[in-house]
Amino acid sequence: MDRIDTALRGISKSLRDAVLPAVDPADPLAQDQLGLAVRYVDFLRDRIDLLHGRERAELRYQAGIAAILLELAPEASAARRLAALAEAAHQTLADPDRATSDIRDCRDQLGAASANLAGLRKPARSATRFWQEAGPGSRGNGSGSNRWASTRYRPMPHSCAPFCSTIPSARP
C-alpha cells in the first residue's frame, strides 16, 4: 500500500473532520483558507503519481531548447557548458530509475545554461515560458511579446525561426 496516498488522505480527512468544524464560523477567511488547504491536499493526492512523468517531460523540453540553441550559436562562450549539460540530460532521461529530484536538478541546471546562452535573466520553468520570454522582440530582457501567452498554444522550438536574433553571439 502506498504510504504517501494514505498519509495525504489522512491529512485531508483530519483537516476536514476535526479542524474545519473547530474553526470559528464567524471568521469566513479562516474557513476559506482551511478549505483551500484541504482541496490542495486532495489535488496533490490526485496528481502525485504524475509528478515523475512531468519532470521527465520538462527535462525533455529543456533538452530540446538546448539542442536548438547549440545549433544556432555553437561558438558562443556558454555553449560548451550547455553541451555538457545537454549530454547529462540525455543520460538522465535514458535512466528510467533516476530519482525525480535528480531529474529536476538536471532540468534546472540545463534551463539556467540555456537562459544564459540566450541572454535571459533567469531560466524559464517550461518550454512555453521560455519562448514567451526569449521570443522575437524580447532581446533577452523578459519582455517578449504576449502573442504566445495563450495556454492553448504551445510553440514548437522549430517553429520559432526568428529566435536566433535574440542570441547575442548569433546577431549580425
**CB–CB of 90/104 below 8 Å?**
no
What is the tens place of the pLDDT at every residue in 111-126?
888 888 877 766 655 5
Q: What is the pTM of this model?
A: 0.59
What is the tens place of the pLDDT at every residue in 127-165?
555 545 555 444 444 444 443 333 444 445 554 444 445
15 contacts: CB under 8 Å, gap ≥ 6: 34, 37, 38, 41
Report d(CA 19, CA 11) in Å as an integer. 10
